[in-house]
Amino acid sequence: MKQFYSVWRHIGLYAAVLTGAFAVALTAAALHPVKVSALGNVDPGYGADERIEMGGHYYQVFNQGLRWEDAKAYCESIGGHLVTITNQEEETLIEDLLSIHGGVNYWMGAQKVNGRMAWVTGEDFSFANWGPGQPDHSHETCLMMYTYDNPNTGGDDSYQWNDLEPGGTYGTEPWFGLDHFGFICEWDYNVTTLTSLTIKSLPQKTDYYLNSDARLNTSGMVLKATYSDGYVSYIKSGFTCSPVRFTRLGQQKVTVSYKGHSTGFYVTVNREVKSVALRTKPNKQVYFMGEKFDPVGMKLRVTYTDETTEEVTEGFSYTPAGTLATAGQQKIVVTCGGKATGFDVTVKKAVSSVAIRKKPSKLSYAVGESFESAGMILKVTYADNTAAEISDGYTYTPVGKFTTVGQQKIVVTYSGKSTRFYVTVNS
């Protein structure tokens, strides 16, 4: 006989009280088991809550539609059985559980044997919470519970029982069908124990600054709890951490404890930044549209709240981090430790082609002389089909002295695009 409990709901917290004995508090958090049955048709990440321990038994809600026999087989494959309810206290417990985690209809662990309902555990089927006129059809052999009123009956069906075909259908009524079904598994107390605890996902925040508000933030952290029967659940709450406040610089280990097991992760505690300033600009300060900002050569002067300073060449972020898309002066904002500074770079239009608009003044050379670009003008065509004439900002080859008599090719390059022409070299 299962122990008698009265259960109430308060801000998502269930407190299960053993009449005349002791109290157990638990939180019904939405956590997802990942043990997959041999059936292969239970999605372990969909609508399944963590096993909830309530005085002598574990319960777990699965919001996924299966045929009755498949739900029964799945519960048994993970060491339990479809839920059995043998008294009003347990009925109230399951109703309260489904009020938080419930969908529409839920399979229970009873089926007709020789025309009479029988629990899969062999317990006496003496308690029932049938809806009006139920059970009603001999071909409806499996037990289910409503969580809402059935609009087809016009009565108060919430949390009442009904017999139904194992496929979860009743004619063409849209209230039924497996897409409106879930099931509840139940285990005996201590059928499984926690064997290991690991970090599945680190908290979103693992870097802190040493100040009066350097307190641990566990948002985003998920623990992986593995039990003795192979069952795994992902824990998002109900654990404790130490320390929860950081008082020294450097890497520090945070220990996470849950149900007598511990794991941990590291955080980094830095000095709090008071201000940042640009100490040295980056090597490259002129760009063409489509290029990305290059911070190489840039130095920041960082001042901390303790008035110490240092120069840094890494550990900062900057915007824009993508391509520089607008011609003209572009502001680069550099952030370090939550403080920002900025400077401008020049962004030029992207060049699609270059051509010689006017050759240089001097086109004839003697061996031993070097090329002179004075007077040369390039026609630059940009990607937006605009054009401009320029007389500087290009490079050319060769840059040394001419050593060979005859026609000598001069290659002129601007923004990665090249053109060429010839000069004459005499002896």
pLDDT digit string (tens) for 175-211? 677 878 889 999 876 556 889 999 999 999 999 988 7
pLDDT at residue 151 in the model? 62
Total domains present in the chain: 4
In angstroms, the CA 160 to CA 365 distance is 105
Asked if residue 409 and residue 362 are part of one domain, the reply reads yes
In angstroms, the CA 67 to CA 168 distance is 6
Domain boundary among 158, 188, 218: 188
Q: Is the pLDDT of residue 14 over 50?
A: no
Asked if residue 180 and residue 75 are part of one domain, the reply reads yes
Asked if residue 212 and residue 91 are part of one domain, the reply reads no
Asked if residue 308 and residue 262 are part of one domain, the reply reads no
Asked if residue 422 and residue 339 are part of one domain, the reply reads no
Asked if residue 254 and residue 177 are part of one domain, the reply reads no
Q: Is the pLDDT of residue 364 over 60?
A: yes
Q: What is the pLDDT of residues 201-255, one digit of tens each?
A: 999 999 998 876 789 999 999 999 888 877 787 888 889 999 999 989 899 999 9
Q: Is the pLDDT of residue 138 over 80?
A: yes
Domain boundary among 126, 159, 188: 188
Q: Is the pLDDT of residue 415 over 60?
A: yes
Asked if residue 135 and residue 167 are part of one domain, the reply reads yes
Asked if residue 115 and residue 177 are part of one domain, the reply reads yes
pLDDT at residue 345 in the model? 96
Q: What is the pLDDT of residues 274-321, one digit of tens each?
A: 999 999 999 999 998 889 999 999 999 999 988 899 999 998 999 999
More confident residue, 58 or 148: 58
CATH number of the domain that residue 209 is part of: 2.60.40.3630
Asked if residue 331 and residue 240 are part of one domain, the reply reads no
CATH number of the domain that residue 46 is part of: 3.10.100.10
Structural domain span for residue 417: 351-426
Asked if residue 165 and residue 46 are part of one domain, the reply reads yes
Across the strands, what pairs with 52?
A: 59
Reported pTM? 0.44
Confidence of residue 5 (pLDDT cuts 50, 70, 90): very low
Asked if residue 26 and residue 123 are part of one domain, the reply reads yes
Asked if residue 178 and residue 101 are part of one domain, the reply reads yes
Domain boundary among 288, 318, 348: 348
349 contacts 384 by C-beta, under 8 angstroms: yes
pLDDT at residue 81 in the model? 94
In angstroms, the CA 83 to CA 61 distance is 10
